[in-house]
A and B are shown apart, each in its own frame.
Chain A
């Protein structure tokens, strides 16, 4: 039995498409930010470039691993071997998670730097103190000298960490929008808010796989908003 190729699971397919789309959109934003950096020499644009390049690279690795899995499933009868399933996807997810976390940290740093430069009274400008970050339950697994284990795909703790960083970035983007009322700023706010929502949905994947399926389109919406910013630049005359 089970000699026929397995049907493609819908959540995996949606996730793969949203990863691939997100990677391409991020590369487009990173490219424009780099062009801006070359033109102006502003470090801020280089940081923006670096953060979107990291997001794009991470999503590309994750998408490539999933495409590989899908191709394996389509070309051979029965499910792919368990080792491949967990090791490959787990490591690809770990790469994607680390890249995204680094990217969002760069953005948070850049927003804090900007806030500090704009307002000397930091206490008034910064958001109110937030509760302590997540505590990872299995801290014993992260002993010094041991290689990091691959993360389980869409690990709730990892996803919540990304959600936290994105909520912070959304706060800064929304502050910018409330000050400027600019269409581009609205799209950036929508983009980061959608990414935050998608990671929140991913974190609830253990409750129901429907959340993972829903997260994909939400993420596509977020990256489409970033592409909308670029499209708006092309549309407006100089």
Chain B
């Protein structure tokens, strides 16, 4: 069996779970958020965040824009909101069975 080793109780986030967390942070900031907010809100390193943001923009879930003060903002798209809605449905479905996603 597993011998004496204990299975780690920490749950690692899947790639999609991280995407969901990023989009959730942006949505909760009123639909657009700067990189620092996303970094702390989604609990990511800068390198990983940059990678994920590029991926989300490539898939049309986020779009980059420049704010009035010249700072970069990331805005959630309609497709991103749809992804969040679908993800929440799946979370509720899994949770009804007692599983976390």
Chain A contacts to B: CB under 8 angstroms: 32-33, 35-36, 39-42, 44-45, 48, 110-111, 114, 116-118, 120, 172-173, 175-176, 180, 182, 184-185, 187-188, 229-230, 232-233, 236-238
Contacts and interface: CB of A to CB of B under 8 A. Distances in A.
A41 B15 contact: yes
B48 interface: no
B86 interface: yes
Contact of B99 (A41, A45, A120, A229): A45
A179 B89 CA distance: 20
30 contacts: A36-B93, A39-B86, A40-B87, A40-B101, A41-B14, A41-B15, A42-B101, A44-B94, A44-B99, A44-B101, A45-B94, A45-B99, A48-B99, A110-B99, A111-B98, A114-B98, A116-B7, A117-B7, A120-B6, A172-B98, A184-B92, A185-B95, A185-B97, A188-B96, A229-B93, A229-B96, A230-B93, A232-B96, A233-B89, A238-B88
The residue in B9, B11, B94 that gathers the most chain A C-beta atoms within 10 A of its C-beta is B94
A238 to B, nearest CB: 3
A44 B11 CA distance: 13
B92 A42 contact: no
Interface residues of B, number: 26
A166 to B, nearest CB: 14
A32 B97 CA distance: 13
B59 interface: no
Contacts of A238: 81, 84-86, 88-89
Contacts of B98: 111, 114, 172-173, 175-176, 185, 188
Contacts of B96: 182, 184-185, 187-188, 229, 232
Interface in B65-93: 81, 84-90, 92-93
A14 B11 CA distance: 45
Contacts of A41: 14-16
B88 to A, nearest CB: 5
Contacts of B17: 40
A36 B85 contact: no
Contacts of B16: 39-41
Given A44-B94, A185-B96, 7 more contacts: A45-B90, A45-B94, A48-B99, A176-B97, A230-B93, A233-B92, A237-B85
